[in-house]
Structure 1
């Protein structure tokens, strides 16, 4: 285990360096933070970090000799930082046999390079000190990966590597074939990933710790040489009953976690991923909310809604396919808005199809959200520019009016036709032609949909539900509800509760 201690009086400096270590996947197993000399002394003696990155200015003169003795006794690599580029500070660095001297502010690239070199040097030292023991790897093949075999799998750990661009997989294969593994795994390249099978005997301590170290090193060294994003899953379990085939299927499923976490990450999985099931479709109230946000052109509200709904997800994650469906349900509302302003043509129409393709196939959720938001902003800009001269589609206007006024039991065809400045006969013909249903059918469907929601989501009486959905009385409501759904309102509510 390679430990790093970051010591600086400035909390932002400590946090910033720690973030760089995590962001660049520098394979330190543990990061310690200290904001005072007393914390530094305590952590060095208690945790024995391998690398110490310390601000020289925080060490008082009366503690200098003690600190120097501690570093000599416990620390392998020391990096010193200072805001004073003076000869005195340089001499202090020399006294500590510092690996490097950082004068603030230091560039992130330099910090990354130096810390990576220190981590590698410490790791190599530890490997030399460990007794080497070559493990005889049992027979592992494509057959054992894809066919269930009862006896094969107990002592195996899997590491799955997947590039964003699968065409560059031969480069990854060559990289792994040349990689200096201490105990070389069986490497099995597939069409869209590479599976590495590691074997451990029962006497080897902490195989997961070793594999996490290997995985982080692979990520770091791959990024140093190549720019292609890679996702890496480490599947570790002590379940002796799982075959290699079952472990592979669980690990393959875990690759989908990159949908939420992105590439350049090591995910450690110890069991089958259990996705959370969600309703993938927008509710009627959410649909109305989206129509309002789009009509108002409220970009901030749209952005906040998207971020809250789709980003910052944590384990257990929702099933990715259901989230994609939910995004397409949202895009359908945008499509409707586009049609109402005659924006479903030309460049914007092509962009719509690109966003739809991205929702279906883009492997990373935050990329989909960002692309969808940018598209929404384009749509709102065009709608705003064309609003004064655009002739809103008559049927879309009418449907919107029905959705806003269906609770009125006296709503008539003539009322809606007057709203869109058309005769009742012409509007009725146009509605049937475009929607495939009459005014009365559309109105009844809207009322029944809302009634179903109220029966499920509220405890309102049947009479109250009838009142809130535009029916003249509860008896007539129950009659129409049964005609359209095949069951009474009360039976519908009770059945949904079961």
Structure 2
């Protein structure tokens, strides 16, 4: 026997109609009561009443679409009541495919007749469904053999659902969710090691539309209570005469669309997936371009190239396996770059192998691209840092050499450049960039500083000090000393004496 839900904001209305059903012996097996739309939604999904008597005035604007979706999904017999005899209320009843519209107040006798008629119609419909199910019971014999071996389905129309979580360890939890879910047409559930297969009967043309809505609801409800992303494939077999085995192969192939679209998606197909053809390896010109981008440390150009060649938003898509090969071809260029800079060891070597495994096994393309770009960026930054350290080390060597030799009046830039094994022109430019001053200016500053110390701490003559600090003669020494300190060597020494 069917069940009925009475939804009205007025508790007296709910009580009165419940009493009418019981006192008149209308054969409903259960009478449910709801005073808010939240209760209506909860009862429709948990109890799935077959007849609903609903007050239109209690439906809020933000609740209308969800109500229509649930009515479409579970297909109850709907009766609507209202205190407003308006065209708008009548149109709402039509949108819900209402069996009848009651304008309050309504006579108990009329309510009794309508409720009795709806109950009898649901009983008759259930009996017909049972007879159909009994006569075509072959559908209920679906098993794992049908998935993995080509066996005929005896003309039954069906649809297939493939569900896969990002975390495969959570599949038992997903199976329990499906087993408890209030499907209108309960599927045959066949759990596998990497997902769950569901086979639905398609009894009427509306079943396909309902199936799409079911998929959307499944995603929404799972996401509402779970934190493991879900990818769903709904496969409609009506367009092709094929066994469940063939449908399973096509649906499994469609599951690979997840590689491009990510999780939290519903993908609806009615045929096998056609992959586009691409070259799995880099062409010679692409290889040269990658060498230039890597050694030129052009991170922005490299990033844009990756986004251009690995951003797929719409079908048709290339075969994911071919794309993985193409990504390993790029990684081979990165490997050569690592070797050329002596980076193929230690932690970087371990990171390289981790990126390689990500390319081979990660289920989502954009994650692979992000992982590869981050690795390349870290390599480029390290190469840049090494270059800076090498250049800084060259200057440090040069300054230490100058500190030992600045007393030599014949010391030239060419001598220091030769000591650090650099060309004079390159060394001069690099020195100025790193020190913010020229070679000659720093050398003079070293000599003047030492001369100032000798003037203050010793009794050496000015000529002797000039000789010891690398100046060619005393006159030139005095001239440079005054330019740098604003006083002559003699005046500085006299100030010390005073």
Shorter chain as denominator, the TM-score bin is: 0.5 to 0.7
User: Contact 2:190/2:196 (CA < 8 Å) preserved in 1?
Assistant: yes
Q: Take 1:280 and 1:358, find their aligned partners in 2: how far apart are those partners?
A: 17
Offset of residue 121 of structure 1: 2.7
Q: 1:15 matched to which residue of 2?
A: none
2:76 maps to 1:128:
yes
User: Contact 2:236/2:270 (CA < 8 Å) preserved in 1?
Assistant: yes
Alignment of 1:453-492 (within 5 A): none
User: Contact 1:148/1:245 (CA < 8 Å) preserved in 2?
Assistant: yes
Offset of residue 153 of structure 1: 6.2
User: Contact 2:162/2:196 (CA < 8 Å) preserved in 1?
Assistant: yes
Offset of residue 214 of structure 1: 0.3
2:231 maps to 1:285:
no
Q: 2:273 matched to which residue of 1?
A: 273
Judged with a 3 Å threshold, the aligned counterparts in structure 2 of structure 1 residues 206 and 98 are, in CA distance, closer, same or farther, namely closer
Alignment of 1:51-450 (within 5 A): 99=60, 118-126=64-72, 127-129=75-77, 134=129, 136=133, 138=139, 139-152=141-154, 154-201=156-203, 204-239=204-239, 241-388=241-388
Q: Take 2:389 and 2:55, find their aligned partners in 1: how far apart are those partners?
A: 70
User: Secondary structure at 1:198's aligned position in 2?
Assistant: strand
Offset of residue 275 of structure 1: 1.1
User: Secondary structure at 2:273's aligned position in 1?
Assistant: coil
Q: Take 2:330 and 2:155, find their aligned partners in 1: how far apart are those partners?
A: 44
User: Secondary structure at 1:280's aligned position in 2?
Assistant: coil
Q: Take 2:232 and 2:282, find their aligned partners in 1: how far apart are those partners?
A: 33
Judged with a 3 Å threshold, the aligned counterparts in structure 2 of structure 1 residues 337 and 152 are, in CA distance, closer, same or farther, namely farther
Offset of residue 97 of structure 1: 7.3
Offset of residue 372 of structure 1: 0.7
Q: Spell out, residue by residue over 1:455-475, the C-alpha distance to the aligned partner (whole angstroms, 9 max, x if none).
A: xxxxxxxxxxxxxxxxxxxxx
Q: Take 2:64 and 2:371, find their aligned partners in 1: how far apart are those partners?
A: 39
Q: Spell out, residue by residue over 1:249-279, the C-alpha distance to the aligned partner (whole angstroms, 9 max, x if none).
A: 1101110000001100000111011111211
Offset of residue 312 of structure 1: 2.9
Gaps of 5+ in 1: 1-75, 79-95, 101-114, 392-420, 422-498
The aligned length equals 283
RMSD, matched Cα: 2.5
User: Contact 2:157/2:237 (CA < 8 Å) preserved in 1?
Assistant: no
Judged with a 3 Å threshold, the aligned counterparts in structure 2 of structure 1 residues 152 and 230 are, in CA distance, closer, same or farther, namely farther
Relative to the length of structure 2, the TM-score reads 0.54
User: Contact 1:262/1:364 (CA < 8 Å) preserved in 2?
Assistant: yes
User: Contact 2:158/2:238 (CA < 8 Å) preserved in 1?
Assistant: no
Offset of residue 350 of structure 1: 1.4
Judged with a 3 Å threshold, the aligned counterparts in structure 2 of structure 1 residues 307 and 153 are, in CA distance, closer, same or farther, namely farther
Relative to the length of structure 1, the TM-score reads 0.54
Q: Take 1:253 and 1:239, find their aligned partners in 2: how far apart are those partners?
A: 17
Q: Spell out, residue by residue over 1:211-245, the C-alpha distance to the aligned partner (whole angstroms, 9 max, x if none).
A: 00000000000000001011100111324520111
Q: Take 2:346 and 2:154, find their aligned partners in 1: how far apart are those partners?
A: 58
Q: Take 1:310 and 1:339, find their aligned partners in 2: how far apart are those partners?
A: 26
* Runs ≥4 residues deviating over 3 A: 117-120, 129-135, 151-154, 388-391
